[in-house]
Amino acid sequence: MTNTNIDTNLLVGGDLPVRRLGLGTMRYADHLTARHGAAAPVWEAPTDRDALLGVIRTAVERGVDLVDTADAYALGAGEELVAEALAPVDAPVVVATKVGVLRPSPDAWVPLGHPDYLRQQIELSLRRLRRETIDLLYLHRVDELYPIAEQVGALSDAVRQGKVRHLGLSEVSTAQLDAARETAPIAAVQNLYNLAAREHDPVVERTRELGIAFVPFFPINFDPASVPALADVARAHGATPQQVALAWLLHRGPHVVPIPGTTSVAHLAENLAAQDVALSEAEQRRLASSPR
């Protein structure tokens, strides 16, 4: 049964339609034994490339129309994989990528907001993604060494040139979001957020107020036992804890677009089924107030 409690569609930036459950591809890198956990390197091209191409294409076949990547994922190999996967696809798919992080070694993620570097990375992303325009471009991290106006201004130049359609920010506070909006319109914010990681509750509310898409990354990457109510609610719905965690995010606001990542077609199907888990208001409150 389709979940009638939520709207499953959203217009990003007011004109870019997406379904409210996308696909994150950060872990589409390295050997499959090296891509788990917080310390996963995300450094080399994946060894199971054909299987991952299949997962992306299957996701699109099943209605996913937002695929998220970044130039820092496997030093650009992540963008190349997404481009290859979508090359034969006829359906419209929104591709989001990010610029503004250096990868000098497998364990290093270093923000770099020099405007010229950002402009260069946009050009490289366009080439790797095989697109004339990037649908949604995020500033991967704010670099405190450069004024945020200069960083967002470099991305805004690409919008004026027709190389980028909409701009986003990643891992920002409400103050940083408001500061960035003084330079250019922001269509989306992508922060770490899930039932067990609620530090960005104020950003969720601020983006709701502004009509900006809020895109939680790592939406189910936590120990379900850390949210005691999760197991009980999942049993009541005949669902998995991960499905309920995604459903809670979908109920969190009509502007929330989770991007769970998976390299498994079976897990992809499980994630998509979360759209059919209709949580009552009491269940939503119980999950939100459960000790963490």
Active site residues: 73
Residue 118 near residue 153, CB atoms below 8 Å: no
**Tokens representing 272?**
């998509």
Structure-block tokens of residue 150: 């200069």
Separation between Cα atoms, residue 186 and residue 270, nearest integer Å: 31
d(CA 121, CA 290): 42
Q: Any residues with CB less than 8 A from the CB of 61 and at least 6 apart, and which?
A: none
Alpha-carbon dihedral sign for residues 42, 44, 48, 49: positive
5-11 CB contacts, 8 Å cutoff, 24+ apart: 5/251, 5/278, 5/279, 6/250, 6/251, 6/254, 6/275, 6/278, 7/254, 8/250, 8/275, 10/213, 10/254, 10/255, 10/257
Amino acid at 268: L
Distance CA 163, CA 178 (A): 24
Buried residues in 165-196 as b, exposed as e (16+ CB within 10 A): bbbbbbbbbbebbebbeebbebbbbbbebbbb
